[in-house]
Structure 1
Amino acid sequence: MIKALATWLREHREIADLLLLTPFGFLCLADVLSRAGGYATPVDLGFLGLGVVLVVPLVWRRRWPLLVFTVIALACFAQWSAGLLLGHNVIMLANLSVLIAMYTVAAETNLRWGLAAAAVCAFGAALAFYGFDRQWNGWAAERSNMIALALLVGVVWSLGIYSGTRRAYLQSLEERARRLERERDNQVQIAMAAERARIARELHDVVAHNVSVMVVQADGGAFMVDSDPPRARQALEAISETGRTALKEMRLLLGVLRDGDAKGPYAPQPGVDQINDLIEQTRAAGLPVVVTVEGSPQGLATGLQLTVYRIVQEALTNALKHAGPAATATIFLGYGDDRIRVRVADDGRGAAAADDGMGHGLAGMRERVAMYGGTVTAGPVPGDGFEVAAELPVRGAK
């Protein structure tokens, strides 16, 4: 409740200032009415009017600090010129308004205006000792009063400077917190976009490979449906199994893109241990594959394993699509202590293969390899065939 009230008052500063000045108004009115048995004289009413002129502008001191200070300072100068110095309770209270206005200027504006307001108040304090209704009693007699008044002006001005500096510091902290929050939200959006792009590449790899296998199996089954029904049936079974595998992987990948949180656990991403299954699937599609492995992938990071798997998958997919019916593929996997070498080649059509212009697998492969600081080359080899070769550093990829 108190916190909510404080927040409301900070948002409605003029109302807060008016509430703070209300007790002062009642105090001045009570002082005037207490004179002469409750009947105010014209002089008392004049003092009350001067007090109103000095105090009421404080309601707008935060909105127009310089204007309010100027009005109050001129009213004080007019009071001094008329010889209406201290001696009346209303005026004694009202003269404090010039210090409040100076405090506001120091807190709400820059240092230059704050110093100017302090100089005006100091000048006004000096004039107070040379009023028309009082005599100068000498430095020895007036010294303590002048020092006290100067200290009062200095303390109020210092409090205003401190308040303004502290508020500016807090505002900078709040702005920094808001900026960091915006940057955090932007980073989250960037991370989400990067993750969706990664999923899109994964989806492309899954769909392209499995659809290529299914097309090859379907072509072979259609060719052998009359001459060799058992092999045609085997091809249809391979198509069915490949389709189920593709659907399963697609569900896993697309599940991440759902708006709601998935309830079931996701299967792990494929790694180097699944390359043998990929090779068997490719062989079943009709492309002979010869594999050579050097070293051991023990302790290899999951992301790096996925990259190796996708390189082999994309290369075999291209071989199935473009190498031709009599081609053979060879795979070399070299697992070293500091570097992994991957080479997938075929002896098919090579540069003579038609390009449908729809593939994005090689570009995605280069992005994957570049992410780990590796290199990859892909293109036709002299003679016939096509080769994909990649090197990936092991260090720093754990």
Structure 2
Amino acid sequence: MGLPDQARRRVLVDVVPPMALWVLDLVVSSGNEQQRGILPAIGIAYAFLGYVPLVVRRRYPRAVFLVVVGHALLAPAVTATYFPTFSWWLGLYTVAATSRLAEAVGALAVASLPAAAVVATNVRDASPDHRASAFVAAAVPNVVLLAALFGVARWARWSGQRHEASRRSAEEAIAAERTRIARDLHDVVAHSVTLMLLQAGGAARFVRQDPDRAAAALAHVDTLGQQALVELRRMLVLLRPDDAPPGAGVASSPSGLTNLPSLVDRVAAGGTDARLVVEGEPRALEPGVDLTVYRIAQEALTNATRYADPAAPVEVRLRWLEDDVELEVLNRRAPGRRAAAGRPEGGGYGLVGMRERVLSVDGHLLAGPQPDGTFRVLARLPAARERAAATHG
């Protein structure tokens, strides 16, 4: 029976590197000029004791580092055939990669003690005429190696922090967008329920006087109820995270495809050459799908006004297919204008929001630069009420 993934990862990260360096350290020590042979048992045992604490170096980096430095400094008093090489290097790297700059610099200063001991040993063992060259030959590599080790560790820390910050920002953006979508769907459901109440009230008034009219009203209530259930299921899926920021993503009044031409006209009035092309026969969509198409167009046009070449047109194409509706927004990026490094188009995680919206209605999204220099946003969403309802049923 194999180890669980988490336990296997701990063994690979925490145990394997110290043990591998212990073996390498023994090989290096056995091959130096003073030893030239297999280390005695006391040297092997003492070396092992110096690498065991490194198994918990990630949990107690500073304490383990001090232990392995002390172990290295005591080595000449225990055995004349062994001096640690890699244990305090790994300890220094761990502290520099996990601690604040002041603590990392302090660890670098402490690491200079075993390095100085190595230099002193080389100078002492050299003949009087060669001690100066022995000092340079020992000191320069140690200084370079310590500086390189320290620099790599600090870079790893900075890179990890940057990656973590980017991950947190993306998660916050997703949570905010989900909250915004849920607010929009809440308005859609509230509107449907209001209409249901009105229709039910009308049916109650006409049930005896005009049964056919009452039946039509009740059929409308049934349709609205099914639609509200679909939107409620979507909203519950979106609200599954418990840590969405309070008040995040407050949405403006819901809009829809009927307002798409006026949206394009507003963008054009602002100085961007925006054009709308509609292909196919328009038809009624579920409110959630209708709102999603509008919001994607809104976000894509917002990004286009920030980054598009003012001399090139922004094309908005709405295609009505047999079972789907397809929205395509094309713009050409202005020369020299780029989104912030490491962030999606628009600097505000706009693409993340688009993907969340499209996924909420079981659609597909493609977005990115094209070989001809344009930036393309293509969303395909289900246009058939029966198909979408069956998906969530």
TM-score normalized by the length of structure 2: 0.49
Q: With CA pairs under 8 Å and 6+ residues apart, which has the higher RCO, 1 or 2?
A: 2
TM-score, structure 1 normalization: 0.48
